[in-house]
């Protein structure tokens, strides 16, 4: 029996990777707990593992007394001298207890303690193994599904793929092999909780590092990733070596490298964007495959005013605003997109307002802040609405009314006849027919695109749709 215990300790230590001394300590603690449960905490005893015999020794200690008041803690001098003739009063003697005498309940308790301690030890080992692997790609087998997501068997432990970290429309079944990206390792009561993701931006960076040697060795750097998981992504890259084309390195010969990543992400289209320190140049690349006519940069508000040819608006916006949203998120700037025709109309309206503002000796920004963006709006407004403009005075109001008649003599009579407002409304409606889009982003949140018309932008050009990789300028 004793040698069987020794073999069991050695086998468990080898199979589960648990330190042998830790197992021995666990056994001693389990037996100690069982003795205390049977005899009580007041009993003076020691538990130790006998390496030579391969068994657990339990010794009870009693004090030699002239009169015994507690038989569990004391022994008479006569009884003690029958064992050791040289013993004296107040000496302490040890007596070996048989573990078999502990009883079934105590043995059950010892077994529970051993099992729990072994689990704790195993969990600690697994946590130590995985805590420094955050940011790595792991592979496992889909095991089961619970309310939080899918449980993936990694071999020695399990990982959780939460619903929010799954690629939309991606379906799994038990037994499927799946790869994912470790985003968190949490020590918890039932063991370390390994959280993995397939939608994280860093997962794509890790895939590029695995598939592209130039990314792995640092020659090509990935400076940003924005994703619409399962649909489309934009990856900003730069090269430290002038002789290395970052786009070509990531794409590979005939797209061999990028195709491996696309397949792993279930057909997600990837645009490789060349990073530039010039935000306007970076924005041109990010909005590819659309061509850009001009870009106005507002450094203070971190806003880009982008003008594109009329026939390029659909490409710039993308399906459901996807292209401009991803570009805005990649840049970290707000992007307002206008067609050339619409931009021309807005500039014309701005010039008219500037003329009116100069007559009133007021900054044109006062008009814009009050919501007046065109001469037609000023003509339609009554005196009360115009008086709400900041710093407006009766004298300035009179000057504005006079200037409106001079700047727009055909529209001024609208106050008397009521016909002009309808004409202005028609003009506004016609102007509103020009496509216009705005995309916004803040930090890592996805940009919101507000598209006026057409209501549903057409799909990207067929040539772009057929190729999973869209290079800047194509």
- Give me the DSSP letters along 57-84: EEEEEEEEESS-S-TTTEEEHHHHHHH-
Q: Are 365 and 308 members of one domain?
A: yes
Q: Which pair of tokens denotes residue 243? A: 């002789």
- Cα separation, 46 vs 35, whole angstroms: 10
Q: Are residues 165 and 314 in the same domain?
A: no
Which residue, 164, 76, 157, is CA-closest to 119?
A: 157
Q: What is the pLDDT of residues 276-335, one digit of tens each?
A: 999 999 999 999 889 898 898 988 889 998 989 988 888 899 988 999 999 999 999 999
CATH code where residue 140 lies: 2.40.50.140
Same domain, 186 and 248: no
Structural domain of 238: 207-275
- Return the closest-CA partner of residue 411 out of 345, 347, 349: 349
Residue 254 per-residue DSSP state: G
Give how far the C-alpha of residue 375 lies from the chain's centroid of Cα atoms, to the nearest Å: 47
Top pLDDT among 91 and 369 is at: 91
Give the pLDDT of residue 214.
95
Report for 95-109, 182-196, 199-213: range of highest mean pLDDT? 199-213
pLDDT for 141: 94
57-71, 174-188, 280-294, 455-469: the lowest-pLDDT one: 455-469
d(CA 207, CA 181): 10
Which of 184, 186, 203, 216 lies closest to 137, judged by CA?
203
Could you tell me if 261 and 204 are in contact, meaning their C-beta atoms sit under 8 angstroms apart?
yes
Q: Considering the chain, what is the average pLDDT of its residues? A: 77
pLDDT given for residue 237 in this prediction: 96
Cα gap 46→355, rounded to integer Å = 99
Residues 50 and 180 in one domain: no
Q: How far apart are CA 286 and CA 245, in angstroms?
A: 17
Give the model confidence (pLDDT) of 155-181 as tens digits: 878 899 999 999 988 888 899 999 999
- Both 10 and 145 in a single domain? no
Asked whether residue 331 falls in the same domain as residue 290, the answer is: yes
State both tokens at 233.
Answer: 């992504």
Residue finishing a domain among 87, 109, 128: 128
Say whether pLDDT at 79 is over 70. Answer: yes
Instruction: Out of 254, 275, 296, pick the residue that ends a domain.
Output: 275
- Structural domain count, the chain: 4
Sheet with 232-239, strands from edge to edge, namely 220-228, 232-239, 269-274, 469-470
Average pLDDT, integer, range 74-86: 83
**Model pLDDT, residue 66:** 79
Choose between 197 and 378: higher pLDDT.
197
> Minimal CA–CA distance to 206: which of 192, 225, 193, 233?
225
Share of the chain above pLDDT 90, in %: 29
CATH of the domain at 11: 3.30.1480.10
393 φ, ψ (degrees, to nearest 5): -125, 165
188 and 267 part of one domain:
no
pTM across the whole model = 0.59
450 lies in the same domain as 470: yes
Residue 91 is classified by DSSP as -
- CA-CA distance, 400 to 379, in Å (whole number)? 10
Least confident of 197-206, 333-342, 459-468: 459-468
Domain's final residue, options 101, 128, 155: 128
Q: Return the CATH number at 263.
A: 3.30.300.20
Nearest Cα to Cα of residue 456 among 320, 290, 287: 320
d(CA 12, CA 24): 11
- 240 band by pLDDT with thresholds 50, 70 and 90: very high
Q: Residues 361-380: pLDDT tens digits?
A: 778 777 777 777 777 777 77
- 371 and 464 within one domain: yes
User: pLDDT tens across 403-445, in order?
Assistant: 777 666 544 444 444 443 333 333 333 333 433 343 443 333 3
257 plus 341 within the same structural domain: no
Report d(CA 65, CA 9) in Å as an integer: 41
Angle at 471 between CA 466 and CA 474, to 5 degrees: 75
Q: How confident is the model at residue 453 (pLDDT cuts 50, 70, 90)?
A: very low
- Say if CB 205 and CB 222 are below 8 A apart: yes
Report residue 140: phi and psi, to 5°: -155, 180
Say if CB 171 and CB 164 are below 8 A apart. Answer: no
Nearest-angstrom CA–CA distance, 68 and 64: 8
pLDDT score, position 456: 37
The stretch 124-142 carries a mean pLDDT of 88
In angstroms, rounded to a whole number, what is the distance separating the alpha carbons of residues 210 and 181? Answer: 13
Residues 450 and 415 in one domain: yes
What is the per-residue pLDDT across 340-369, written as a single tens digit (0 to 9) for each? 777 766 666 677 777 777 777 778 777 777
Q: Are residues 72 and 95 in the same domain?
A: yes
Give the largest CA-CA distance in the chain. Answer: 132
């Amino acid at each position: 029996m004793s040698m069987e215990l020794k073999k069991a300790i050695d086998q468990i230590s080898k199979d589960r990777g648990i330190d042998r001394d830790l197992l021995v300590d666990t056994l001693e603690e389990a037996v100690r707990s069982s003795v205390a449960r049977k005899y009580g905490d007041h009993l003076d005893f020691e538990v130790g593992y006998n390496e030579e015999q391969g068994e657990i020794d339990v010794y009870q200690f009693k004090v030699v007394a002239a009169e015994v008041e507690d038989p569990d803690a004391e022994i008479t001098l006569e009884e003690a001298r029958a064992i050791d003739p040289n013993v004296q009063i107040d000496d302490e003697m040890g007596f070996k207890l048989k573990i078999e005498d502990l009883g079934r309940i105590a043995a059950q308790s010892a077994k529970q303690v051993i099992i729990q301690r072994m689990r704790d030890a195993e969990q600690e080992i697994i946590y130590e193994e995985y805590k420094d692997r955050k940011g790595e790609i792991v592979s496992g087998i889909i095991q089961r599904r619970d309310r939080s997501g899918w449980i993936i068997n990694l071999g020695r432990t399990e990982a959780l793929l939460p619903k929010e970290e799954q690629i939309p429309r991606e379906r799994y079944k038990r037994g499927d092999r799946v790869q994912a990206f470790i985003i968190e390792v949490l020590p918890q009561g039932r063991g370390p909780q390994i959280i993995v993701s397939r939608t994280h931006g860093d997962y794509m960076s890790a895939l590029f590092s695995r598939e592209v040697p130039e990314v792995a060795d640092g020659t090509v750097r990935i400076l940003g990733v924005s994703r619409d998981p399962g649909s489309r992504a934009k990856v900003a890259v730069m090269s430290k070596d002038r002789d290395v084309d970052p786009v070509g390195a990531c794409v590979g010969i005939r797209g061999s490298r990028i195709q491996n990543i696309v397949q792993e992400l279930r057909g997600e289209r990837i645009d490789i964007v060349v990073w530039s320190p010039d935000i306007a140049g970076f924005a041109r690349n990010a909005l590819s495959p659309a061509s850009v006519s001009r870009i106005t940069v507002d450094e203070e508000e971190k806003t880009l005013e982008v003008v594109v040819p009329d026939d390029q608006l659909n490409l710039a916006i993308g399906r459901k605003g996807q292209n401009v949203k991803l570009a805005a998120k990649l840049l970290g700037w707000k992007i307002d997109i206008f067609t050339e025709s619409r931009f021309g109309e807005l500039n014309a309206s701005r010039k008219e307002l500037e003329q009116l503002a100069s007559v009133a000796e007021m900054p044109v920004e006062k008009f814009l802040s009050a919501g007046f963006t065109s001469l037609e709006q000023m003509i339609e407004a009554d005196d009360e609405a115009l008086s709400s403009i900041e710093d407006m005075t009766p004298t300035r109001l009179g000057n504005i009314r006079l200037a409106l008649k001079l700047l727009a003599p055909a529209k001024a009579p609208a106050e008397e006849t009521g016909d002009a407002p309808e004409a202005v409304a028609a003009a506004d409606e016609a102007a509103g027919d020009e496509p216009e889009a705005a995309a916004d982003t803040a930090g890592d949140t996805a940009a919101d695109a507000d598209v006026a018309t057409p209501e549903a932008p057409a799909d990207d050009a067929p040539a772009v749709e057929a190729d999973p990789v869209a290079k800047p300028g194509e």
